[in-house]
Amino acid sequence: MPTISANGLEIAYGVAGAGPPLVLLHGASSSGQADFEAQLPVLSGAFRCVVPDARGHAGTRWDAADGFRYDWLVDDVLAFADALGLATFHLLGFSMGAATALAFAVRHPARLRTMVLVGISTEREPRASVARRLFDPARIEADDPAWGAELSARHDEVQGPGAWQRLLPAVARDVADQELHGPSELVRIDCPVLVAVGDRDPFVPVDQAWRLKRQLPDARLFVAPDCGHEVLLRRPALATEALATFYRSTGAVAARRAGVAAAAAAPPGPPHSSARAGTAGPLQPDTDWLKEAAR
């Protein structure tokens, strides 16, 4: 995987496809390749998918013994996007990645064309309790050695032996005390948002996902039936269709947001330019999901 210097890290990332930029943020203990393997073949037909590994995960070296905070992940995303020259982009996050995406959107709403949040809420429980139990290294080694071996295979080559045993408790501690966003902050997020949740998600009950959707100015809710936390992996066909519907229906808005940002960043035109102030040309949807969905 290539790496890029951003926020004091060498962030490892993958790229697939061509088109408008879509940054995908994976969940805790995982990697972008693992969490989005079912969607990337389709998404890369409409977007340039950029999939970074979070600090301390897979290819992005960081020792969690030095701490781990979601606030740092938000700064990492900002520096990563800047390093790649992404003035605006689509953002999709799962679990830890969704928490990062939500905080990024609160701080930098104008940078986003659209956002997808999978498996996150703005309420601390039951997320904190489930994370504390699930991310206990002693429990994993005793009760789920196969997962422990998977974690070692995913992280040890870059992070060093036993890195996951430091990482997971550090993530759980941060879930327990990270900043929670209220209505006065969520109202700043003016891009189209899709909130997705499994109807059996132990981290995020459906009513919490519904409350999050209700607090966002332009949001819709997708509930995956008979599904736990990993909506994208466990219900890939339904999740991909929900994404297709969302991106197809919000294409014109996404194009407008990209155009406004580009116009704001452009240098002033010549004094006698014939271009009308405040216009960014004809608006076109920046995805072609109709063609993709027909395949």
Q: Considering the domain boundaries, does residue 143 fall inside one?
A: no
Q: Considering the domain boundaries, does residue 167 fall inside one?
A: no
Q: Considering the domain boundaries, does residue 213 fall inside one?
A: yes
Is residue 113 within 8 Å of 257, Cβ to Cβ? yes
Burial of 196 (0-12, 13-18, 19+ CB in 10 A): buried
Q: What is the pLDDT of residue 292?
A: 44
Residue 5 phi, psi dihedral angles, 5° rounding = -75, 125
Name the residue type at position 150. Answer: E
Q: What is the pLDDT of residue 277?
A: 30
CATH number for the domain spanning 225: value is 3.40.50.1820
Q: What is the pLDDT of residue 266?
A: 62
Q: Considering the domain boundaries, does residue 19 fall inside one?
A: yes
Q: What is the pLDDT of residue 136?
A: 98
Can you state the percent helix, strand and coil of the chain, rounding each to 5? 45, 15, 40
The label of the residue with tokens 């949807």 reads: 285
Q: Considering the domain boundaries, does residue 144 fall inside one?
A: no
Q: What is the pLDDT of residue 269?
A: 53
Q: Considering the domain boundaries, does residue 150 fall inside one?
A: no
Strands 112-118 and 89-94: parallel
- Domain count for the chain: 1
The residues, any chain, with a CB within 8 Å of residue 191's CB and separated by 6 or more, are 105, 109, 112, 113, 114, 115, 218, 253, 254, 257
Is residue 210 within 8 Å of 146, Cβ to Cβ? no
pLDDT per residue of the chain (295 residues) written in tens, 0 to 9: 899 999 999 999 999 999 999 999 999 999 999 999 999 999 999 999 999 999 999 999 999 989 999 999 999 999 999 999 999 999 999 999 999 999 999 999 999 999 999 999 999 999 999 999 999 999 999 999 999 999 999 999 999 999 999 999 999 999 999 989 999 999 999 999 999 999 999 999 999 999 999 999 999 999 999 999 999 999 999 999 999 999 999 999 999 999 876 766 666 554 433 333 332 333 234 445 434 433 4
Q: What is the pLDDT of residue 287?
A: 46
Q: Considering the domain boundaries, does residue 225 fall inside one?
A: yes
Burial of 280 (0-12, 13-18, 19+ CB in 10 A): middle
Is residue 209 within 8 Å of 197, Cβ to Cβ? yes
Q: Considering the domain boundaries, does residue 156 fall inside one?
A: no
Q: What is the pLDDT of residue 139?
A: 97
Q: What is the pLDDT of residue 260?
A: 79
Measured distance CA(265)–CA(263) in Å, rounded:
5
The label of the residue with tokens 């330019």 reads: 273
Stated pTM of the model: 0.90
Instruction: For residue 287, give both structure tokens.
Output: 């995805």
Give the domain range for residue 219. Answer: 3-123+180-261+278-293
Q: What is the pLDDT of residue 290?
A: 35
